[in-house]
Homo-oligomer: A and B are copies of this chain.
Amino acid sequence: MTSSRYTYLGPEGTFTEAALRTLPEAATRELVPMVSVPAALDAVRNREAGGALVPIENSVEGGVTATIDELASGRPLMIYREVLLPIAFALLVRPGTELSEVKTVTGHPVAQPQVRRWLERHLPQAQWESAASNADGARLVQEGRYDAAFAGEFAAATYGLHPLVTDIHDAENAATRFVLVGRPARPSSPTGSDKSSVVLWLRDDHPGALLELLQEFAARGVNLMRIESRPTGGGIGQYCFQVDCEGHLSDRRVGEALMGLRRLCAGVRYLGSYPRADGGRPQLRVGTSDEAFLAANDWLNRCFDGRGELPGEVP
């Protein structure tokens, strides 16, 4: 059964695998590393897997464009879950290597800016060369090509290496956000602490178009959590926007904002509503609760019958 298989951005031993293993259902799935984000997602599109875990955002490096662009184009996919993984690297060496012997280090290009200051302080002479992934870097150390690799401490065992230094991270609060992606279906059930994601294409590029788009959220009291502009491929100056907002599709304010965007925009791709990994809850502005929406709807229906106003309803 393919739905019992989850792909992820491999190889084995990367942070993505560590993130995937934090999901309870991972224990009962076959976890398959893939060589790239597109490969992991295409396996889902082609029904060879039931889900794929891929990184979407890093607090140091920013959006993972391969993921964002794959979600925005091609056959539709949806996000069902997000995972926040604090990022801390270990410096993996072959057993016996000492810090003073490390002349060459490797790791994923994304790792480099996250350990740059540590390197300057502790290994100022070391030569950096990029590897295809952190895990791949570990393998290259195993093979003797480099002296040390930055990777997750959990990768040491896989490659027979020793974590010489652990918990390396230049930035406090460094974290990577991953999303569990599946084929379109019912969104995850609302939990009260949810977010929703969409991709938006502006209808035309008039001044103020982006402002109008944001006002569709603001007018309904829906808070924006992230906005990422991406080129559409149509030339410099042509962008679409991936937006995360607070709340669930089934929240009235979110539903109305999304319908507003659908009317305003040239295109809207709904990417799902799912529990927030940070557990945060929206600060509701007065008049934006589901109750307020339903009461307003009742009132409108009564207006159609000339019974809009109940005694005492206006000051």
Place the interface of chain A in its size category.
35 or more
Chain B residues within an 8 Å CB radius of A305: 185-186
Give the residues in chain B near A207, CB-CB below 8 Å. 218, 221, 223-224, 283, 285
Q: In the bound complex, do residue B234 and residue A263 qualify as a contact, i.e. CB atoms below 8 Å apart?
A: no
Verify B173–A234 contact, CB threshold 8 A: yes
Contacting pair B210 A270 (CB below 8 A): no
Given A234-B59, A278-B236, A286-B203, is A267 in contact with B315 using a C-beta cutoff of 8 Å?
A: yes
Given A210-B224, A287-B263, is A269 in contact with B314 using a C-beta cutoff of 8 Å?
yes
A299: chain B residues within 8 A (beta carbon): 259, 262, 268
B residues less than 8 Å from A250 (CB atoms): 304
Q: Which residues of B contact A234 (CB under 8 A)?
A: 59, 171-173
Contacting residue for A235 out of B59, B223, B229, B292, CB 8 A:
B59
Chain B residue at minimum C-beta to C-beta distance from A183: B306
CB-CB < 8 A to A288: which residues of B? 263
**Are A228 and B231 neighbours in the complex by a CB distance under 8 Å?**
no
Residue of B nearest to A239 (CB): B226
CB contacts (< 8 Å) of A59 on chain B: these are 231, 233-236, 238
Is A256 interfacial (CB 8 A cutoff)? yes
Known A-B contacts A237-B278, A296-B259, A309-B76; the reply to A270 vs B303 at CB < 8 A is yes
Known: A219-B215, A226-B239, A299-B262. A309 touches B65 (CB 8 A): no
- Within the complex, the shortest CB–CB distance from A40 to chain B, in Å, comes to 16
A185–B26 CA distance with the chains assembled, in angstroms: 56
A184 at the A/B interface (Cβ < 8 Å)?
yes
A227 to B295, CA, bound (A): 25
In Å, the complex CA distance between A228 and B229 comes to: 6
Q: Could you tell me the distance between the alpha carbons of A295 and B84 in the complex, rounded to whole angstroms?
A: 36
9 nearest interchain CB pairs? A173-B235, A263-B287, A185-B306, A259-B296, A207-B223, A267-B314, A184-B306, A219-B219, A262-B296
19 contacts between A and B (CB under 8 A): A58-B231, A61-B65, A62-B231, A171-B233, A174-B233, A184-B307, A186-B304, A186-B306, A187-B306, A207-B224, A207-B283, A210-B214, A236-B278, A249-B303, A250-B304, A262-B300, A264-B287, A267-B314, A270-B309
